[in-house]
Structure 1
Amino acid sequence: MIYPNVSDETSQLKAVILGTAKSNGPTPALEDAYDPKSRIHIANGTYPVEVDMVYEMQAVEAVLLKYDVKVYRPEILNDTNQIFTRDIGFVIDDFFFKANILPDREEEVKAIQYIIDQIPSNKVVQLPEACHVEGGDVMLYGDYLFVGTYRGDDYADYIIARTNMEAVKALQEFFPHKKVVSFDLRKSNTDPYENALHLDCCFQPVGKNKAILHKNGFLDPAEYEWLFNFFGKENVFEINKEEMYNMNSNIFSIAPNVVISEKNFTRLNTWLRDQGITVEEVPYAEIAKQEGLLRCSTLPLIREIK
């Protein structure tokens, strides 16, 4: 059996589902792209190829195994992109939530069903169909639950709007003891520099009390200021628009003092080391072309109880 337990983003990782790039399928047609960054690379002929993405994910798996993390992988679906497991599920405390994913991606959930079947059935949750939510928008910080959303009346017009206020309300009801704070994110179907696909594209806690933040990802300046003040100026690493585009906020913590980061994130990795954090650098620039990085492709199941 698997007994899920995750209450924050940085405690010692014990078990995780890492996506797979095997049998990833051909380059999508432009009209089938799920995000603006993929669209640009499809149009430019620079969309990543399977062999490069498999290599990058092997580098991540090697780091996880180095730190004695139990690594689960999805079953392989032919010609299907299964890299971003964070989209299809997430754990809050001891509950595993199946995400209400884009209909085209429901097969991806079936590919991890063999793992979900090992979790006690009373700990597996599927929110009502009207509640749209993906794991990239759900951030845990002890008693707080930070949730990215899009509140605009034109929500349905954005394929990159993945979590709605119905889901935020459902999580508030499910966890009445938690402080659920939602953030209205900037969305663009066409410009990746103006699109926060998920909350983890513009924010992530790191270490014990620090955070990576990108101001432009938030539509409401007051909500950004609240989050900035919550962590405090001395504990915040602000990334610029180019760094956001390259997914600098989407690193992945193995422990409070260990992170996996992309090897080209020079400014961020230097800052992390200055904070006493060990940075395990991996190549991940090809996968980043799909507007997702290390947090997106990992689904933590168990972090050590403090």
Structure 2
Amino acid sequence: MKLNIQNETSRLRAVVLGTAVSNGNTPTVEEAYDPKSIEHIKAGTYPIESDMTEEMNAVARVLEKYDVKVFRPEIIKNCNQIFARDISLVIEDKFIKSNILPDREKEIKAIQYVIDTIDPKKVFKAPSEEIHFEGGDIIIHNDYIFIGTYKGEDYPDCIVARTNMKGVEYIKTLFPNKIVKEFDLNKSMENPRDNALHLDCCFQPVGKNKAIIHKEGFRDIKGYEFLVDLFGKENLFHITKDEMYDMNSNIFSIAEDIVISEKNFIRLNTWLRNHKITVEEVPYAEIAKQEGLLRCSTMPLIRD
């Protein structure tokens, strides 16, 4: 397979879509990785496998409608394999395995059959366990690579901080001709409305020259200001804390003029349609309870 990813919005041709099959039991609070999951575990509203499987199948049907080749992970029994974006990413023609939470290493093995179709010289893995990054923190935008990180002194103890500056530097070594810009994000294990788990939880390009953004997701306001200057304030759709909590910035583009979005994102979906973007609405509110949505559960391989 010849990979090609230059941005977030060009016409999609092939993608890995996660799976909720054999998702395992509801985790304990101690086993959870994020504050939103903990909130639902405590409330008894954590999503069940059948509902999440149905939601993911709805996404698969939309992708197939647009003739996108869809790869699914091999099933690992009692394992959460929904969030395919966490475990790997593609930039240009390079497939990069993420350095992720150790408990999730086995997830990459479930897409080994996809990796086997790629030129081995184009497959990369960080050389040190101290280099941390996940695909949700990395957004490619033509000449730019945007990377979410966390620069707080408590990074080693902050489970919601997934990408460190060593990860940023590693990506820079792979793409010396790109402009790599990091963004220091706000993190919270107590309040999901204050937690930008990944960059795509508070920012994502959409369409030809637009983006969805949550100002309060940026720990360093200069990062937010950089994006305002780059895109133009008139081209940004600003979301509230509640909309970030619902994962409004985590939709997924099939093309510049086609997106998959959650059916309850009424304000966002109206804005997209007003800018002549076709919105394919799906139910995804159950999966959103784990602090991830459509971009988190997809990992593009080929775009035109």
TM-score range, shorter chain: over 0.9
- CA drift of 1:134 comes to 0.3
Find the counterpart in structure 1 of residue 263 from structure 2. Answer: 263
Number of equivalent positions: 303
* Deviation readout 1:205-244 (Å, 9 max, x if unpaired): 0001000000010001111111112100110000000000
Q: Which amino acid aligns with 1:213?
A: I
* Deviation readout 1:232-261 (Å, 9 max, x if unpaired): 011000000000000000000000000000
Give distance in 1, aligned partners of 2:90 and 2:201.
19
| 1:244 to 2:241 alignment | no
Give distance in 2, aligned partners of 1:174 and 1:288.
32
| 1:178 to 2:169 alignment | no
SS in structure 1 at match of 2:89 = strand
Q: Tell me the TM-score normalized by structure 1.
A: 0.98
Give distance in 2, aligned partners of 1:204 and 1:139.
8
Give distance in 2, aligned partners of 1:291 and 1:171.
25
Find the counterpart in structure 1 of residue 112 from structure 2. Answer: 113
Give distance in 2, aligned partners of 1:190 and 1:233.
31
Q: What does residue range 1-306 of structure 1 map to in structure 2 within 5 Å? A: 2-128=1-127, 129-304=129-304
SS in structure 1 at match of 2:105 = helix
Give distance in 1, aligned partners of 2:145 and 2:53.
33
SS in structure 1 at match of 2:160 = coil
Q: Which amino acid aligns with 1:28?
A: P
- CA drift of 1:176 comes to 1.1
Give distance in 1, aligned partners of 2:157 and 2:227.
28
- CA drift of 1:78 comes to 0.4
SS in structure 1 at match of 2:299 = strand
Give distance in 2, aligned partners of 1:241 and 1:289.
15
SS in structure 1 at match of 2:169 = helix
SS in structure 1 at match of 2:9 = coil
SS in structure 2 at match of 1:80 = coil
SS in structure 2 at match of 1:74 = coil
Give distance in 1, aligned partners of 2:220 and 2:148.
12
- CA drift of 1:183 comes to 0.1
Which structure 1 residue ranges, 5 or more long, are not aligned? none
Q: Tell me the TM-score normalized by structure 2.
A: 0.99
Q: Which amino acid aligns with 1:215?
A: K
**Percent identity between the two aligned chains:** 65
Following TM superposition, the consecutive aligned residue runs of length 4 or more in structure 1 with deviations greater than 6 angstroms are: none
Give distance in 1, aligned partners of 2:170 and 2:48.
39
Give distance in 2, aligned partners of 1:177 and 1:121.
22
SS in structure 2 at match of 1:289 = helix
- CA drift of 1:172 comes to 1.3
Give distance in 2, aligned partners of 1:163 and 1:120.
26
Q: Which amino acid aligns with 1:239?
A: I
Give distance in 1, aligned partners of 2:173 and 2:29.
39
Compute the RMSD of aligned alpha carbons. Answer: 0.6
- CA drift of 1:8 comes to 0.1
- CA drift of 1:195 comes to 0.3
Give distance in 2, aligned partners of 1:216 and 1:206.
19
- CA drift of 1:70 comes to 0.1
Q: Which amino acid aligns with 1:245?
A: Y
Which structure 2 residue ranges, 5 or more long, are not aligned? none
